[in-house]
Amino acid sequence: MSIEDFAASIASSLTVNAPAMPVADGATDVGEALSFRERVRRRAGIAQLLVFRIARELFAVELITTEEALDMPTLHRLPEMLPSMLGVFTLRGALVSVFEPQVALGVACDQSTTAVVFCGGERRVAIATDDVDDVVTVDLRTVREAPGSRTKEAALLGIVHRTTDLIALLDAHALVAAHRPAIAELPEPVEETA
């Protein structure tokens, strides 16, 4: 299955099988839903996760926080780019900055064949990965503590088991926040013309 087919199946499963988000105590609408970090902390509900591999390690983010996973496009270097930034590419008319995961996760890619693009923010951010592994649904009651997962800014939220694999559960918002200073230093993108 190609990455494009995989992304299409993810998108269709989100609209058909999207689980209800738990709401905070006393909350009356979805607008007051708990953040993923808080749901993991409380071990409340279920989550659909996008699992990806960096080197020999497996990581996962909540599926709804990702915009797309795609084969690594041709990257373009920008003046004054930080060493952690691999380059930029254009996705549907918007500039996407691609970063090496080592800054936020402490693990470097072996081959950087896939980019995972995250939703939100003024500028899109992607991290390089070696491969996208799977989409899984996890009961958050099964999440185990991981060293450093209790700090407020940490990207690592905990560990989940999948058969013999350990998957590090990540907060996508913290991953993106780790790269915001580098994005702020970049010049404003110039709109492409046909």
- CATH number of the domain bearing residue 103: 2.40.50.180
Rg of the chain taking only CA atoms, in angstroms: 17
Residue 123 lies in a domain: yes
Residue 7 lies in a domain: yes
Residue 165 lies in a domain: yes
Greater model confidence, 186 or 13: 186
Residue 69 lies in a domain: yes
pLDDT of residue 146: 82
The reported pTM is 0.77
Find the domain containing 155 and state its range: 3-184
pLDDT of residue 1: 54
Using CA atoms, how far apart are residues 134 and 57, in angstroms rounded to an integer?
14
- Asked whether residue 29 carries a pLDDT value surpassing 50, the answer given is no
Arithmetic mean of pLDDT over the chain: 81
Residue 194 lies in a domain: no
Q: 3-state DSSP call for residue 15? A: helix
- Asked whether residue 192 carries a pLDDT value surpassing 60, the answer given is no
Q: Which of 8-22, 110-124, 140-154 has the lowest mean pLDDT?
A: 8-22
Residue 189 lies in a domain: no
Greater model confidence, 17 or 78: 78
Using 50, 70 and 90 to split pLDDT, how confident is the model at 152?
A: low
Element (H, E) at 176: helix 172-184
Q: Which residues touch 64 (CB under 8 Å, ≥6 apart)?
A: 14, 18, 48, 119
Supply φ then ψ for residue 40, to 5 degrees.
-65, -45
What's the domain count of the chain?
1
Residue 86 lies in a domain: yes
Residue 91 lies in a domain: yes
